[in-house]
């Protein structure tokens, strides 16, 4: 009987530990970053290396995990003020700041080491991403809406990181991949900011470009959605080196972009939480499907 109780307790502890690990590393965000990096890698190669893919996936996860842990250490007191984040492991007291800091350092070393094994440029961009997210984006969130611009830079690195991992070169191809995800960041995060504005205000976060859920913010969301669509279609013009997109692939991207633009327009018209929530989902679907279409277009077309 005692053994059964101990096993149940151990199972519960492991489940809680796993849940805290996923929360402190922002598991879903980290997986999406790995997905973007892998997509960028597959766009650059004609025959992929499984070992390089694994190093990129592991290094990418640790890189983003480290950034998120550092972010939650810095924002511990602010997270405690918001309903959405008050039960995170650090503000809830389940993980101490010291333990979290040690974990973040371990993740940084492991992540950058894995990326360095691939090539030095990949590790360099990984280090830049961690630095910008932790030392620029995070402190700016309570000071200015320009924090979203600062955060869009590390947020756009993963897609191009895969190309750099494959080629050890930075040129027009990874530059375009960077631009696609850079412009996409704005409607995505402003839609989140619109949806969570009341919670963000409790912590003093300035996430919306005008500071309000108003027409000005909605216009900028619409404008950046349009530019995301335009930049996404650049590879079809044949001016982006080894990065190309066929006419059928471009048509699919264009249709996806029209859907993305439609939901941005819907937020502009309605200015509602429901429209913002739908736009968040639409933005995630757009960037995910775009990366899949880019890869399939290369390998099938």
Please give the pLDDT value at position 285.
97
Residue 197: how many other CB atoms lie within 10 Å: 18
Domain match, 48 and 154 both: yes
290 and 246 together in one domain = yes
For position 11, what pLDDT does the model report?
52
CATH number for the domain harbouring residue 32:
1.10.357.140
Picking from 169, 204, 233, the residue at the C-terminal end of a domain is: 169
Q: Would you state the pLDDT for residue 5?
A: 43
C-alpha angle 175/177/182, rounded to 5°? 90
Provide the pLDDT for residue 12.
57
Tens of pLDDT, residue by residue, the chain (301 residues): 555 444 444 455 777 888 888 888 898 889 999 999 999 999 999 888 899 999 999 999 999 999 999 999 999 999 888 988 888 999 988 989 999 999 999 999 999 999 999 999 999 999 999 999 999 999 999 999 999 999 999 999 999 999 999 999 899 999 999 999 999 999 999 999 999 999 999 989 999 999 999 999 999 999 999 999 999 999 999 999 999 999 999 999 999 999 999 999 999 999 999 999 999 999 999 999 999 999 999 988 6
Residue 7 CB neighbour total at 10 angstroms: 10
| Contacts with 113 (C-beta within 8 Å, 6 or more apart), sequence order | 59, 123
Burial of 274 (0-12, 13-18, 19+ CB in 10 A): exposed
Question: What are the CB-based long-range contacts (under 8 Å, 24+) for 238-241?
Answer: 239/172, 240/172, 240/173, 240/176, 241/171, 241/172, 241/173
Count of domains observed in the chain? 2
The answer to the question of residue 3 being in a domain is no
Contact 180, 231 (CB under 8 A): yes
Q: Which of 118, 148, 169 is the last residue of a domain?
A: 169
Residue for token digits 């960041």? 185
pTM: 0.90
Q: Are residues 180 and 296 in the same domain?
A: yes
pLDDT at 21: 82
Same domain, 163 and 186: no
Report how far apart, in Å, the C-alpha atoms of 192 and of each of 110, 111, 185, 231, 300 are. Answer: 31, 28, 11, 22, 35
Q: Which of 169, 187, 206 is the last residue of a domain?
A: 169
Residue 140 lies in a domain: yes
Mark whether 109 and 197 lie in a shared domain: no
Residue 48 is predicted with a pLDDT of: 82
One domain for residues 117 and 249:
no
Domain hosting 239: range is: 171-301
């Amino acid at each position: 009987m005692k053994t059964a109780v101990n096993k149940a307790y151990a199972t519960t502890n492991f489940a809680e530990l796993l849940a805290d690990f996923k929360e402190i590393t922002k598991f879903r965000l980290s997986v999406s970053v790995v997905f973007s990096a892998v997509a960028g890698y597959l766009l650059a190669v004609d025959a992929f290396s499984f070992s390089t893919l694994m190093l990129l996936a592991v290094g990418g996860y640790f890189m983003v995990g480290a950034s998120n842990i550092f972010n939650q250490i810095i924002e511990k007191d602010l997270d405690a003020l918001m309903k959405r984040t008050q039960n995170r492991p650090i503000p809830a007291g389940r993980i101490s700041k010291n333990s979290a800091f040690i974990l973040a350092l371990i993740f940084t070393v492991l992540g950058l080491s894995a990326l360095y094994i691939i090539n030095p440029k990949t590790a360099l961009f990984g280090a830049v991403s961690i630095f910008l997210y932790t030392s620029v984006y995070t402190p700016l969130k309570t000071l200015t809406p320009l924090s979203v611009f600062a955060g869009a830079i590390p947020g756009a690195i993963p897609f191009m990181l895969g190309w750099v991992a494959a080629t050890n070169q930075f040129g027009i191809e990874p530059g375009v991949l960077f631009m696609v995800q850079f412009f996409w960041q704005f409607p995505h995060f402003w839609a989140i900011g619109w949806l969570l504005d009341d919670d963000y205000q409790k912590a003093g976060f300035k996430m919306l470009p005008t500071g309000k859920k108003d027409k000005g913010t909605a216009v900028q969301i619409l404008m950046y959605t349009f530019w995301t669509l335009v930049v996404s279609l650049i590879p079809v013009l044949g001016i982006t080196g080894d990065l190309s997109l066929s006419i059928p692939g471009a048509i699919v991207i264009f249709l996806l972009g029209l859907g993305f633009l439609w939901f941005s327009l819907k937020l502009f018209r309605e200015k509602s939480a429901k429209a913002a929530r739908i736009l968040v989902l639409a933005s995630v679907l757009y960037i995910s499907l775009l990366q899949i279409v880019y890869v399939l277009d290369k390998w099938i077309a």
